[in-house]
Structure 1
């Protein structure tokens, strides 16, 4: 299952943005309203949203081209990637990309909430100061 967020322009260089995305604490700023729990870990974070199970993510790779988060749970196999494309020295195009391997039943249950989550992440990154 693949999902994509809309492409946005962020008023930060890809270097600045990649530095922000290296730190687990910074992801709290991108979480949707309704965040009930947020814990940082060595190389990632765990969060809980109202009406959803908690999700643990680890920061797998961060460069000036992308930031890749992977599921920290062995029962869920997915990645969430922020593709970073420098526009100029002070702006970066960002697009959230989700790739998961789910059975058809799980896919049917999670597709809409995941798309909403990706859209919210995109909105929060777009207005990040």
Structure 2
């Protein structure tokens, strides 16, 4: 299953945004309002949203143009990638891409909540 967030422009330089996204604790500021629990870890974070199970993500890879978060659970195989491109002085174009391997039943259950989550992350990134 593949989902895409809309392309946005963030009022931060790519370097500043990459530096922020390397720190697990900084992801708290990007979470939706329905956040119930957030715990930063050394290599990632775990969180729970109202009406959803707890999700643990590890920061898999951070480069100048890409941030990759992967599921820390062996039972769920998915990644969330943020593509970062310069968009002028102190501006960065960002697009979030989700890729997950789910059976059709799970896909049907999680597709809409995941798209809403990606949209909320995108909206919060845009406010930075």
User: TM bucket by the smaller chain?
Assistant: over 0.9
Structure 2 CA distance for aligned equivalents of residues 37 and 11 of structure 1: 27
1:33 aligns with 2:33: yes
Q: CA deviation at 1:2?
A: 0.3
Structure 2 CA distance for aligned equivalents of residues 13 and 79 of structure 1: 24
Q: Which residue pairs with 1:80 in the alignment?
A: 80
Q: CA deviation at 1:88?
A: 2.1
Q: Which residue pairs with 1:102 in the alignment?
A: 102
| Stretches (4+) displaced over 3 A | none
Structure 1 CA distance for aligned equivalents of residues 8 and 30 of structure 2: 14
Q: Structure 1: which 5+ residue stretches go unaligned?
A: none
1:125 aligns with 2:97: no
Structure 1 CA distance for aligned equivalents of residues 79 and 45 of structure 2: 14
Q: CA deviation at 1:34?
A: 1.5
Q: Structure 2: which 5+ residue stretches go unaligned?
A: none
**TM-score scaled by length of structure 1:** 0.97
Helix, strand or coil for the counterpart of 1:42?
coil
Helix, strand or coil for the counterpart of 1:75?
coil
**TM-score scaled by length of structure 2:** 0.98
Helix, strand or coil for the counterpart of 1:119?
helix
Q: Which residue pairs with 1:17 in the alignment?
A: 17
Task: Give the superposed CA RMSD.
Answer: 0.6
User: What per-residue deviation string (whole Å, max 9, x for no partner) do you get for residues 22-47 of structure 1?
Assistant: 00000000000111100011100000
Q: Which residue pairs with 2:7 in the alignment?
A: 7
Structure 2 CA distance for aligned equivalents of residues 64 and 11 of structure 1: 16
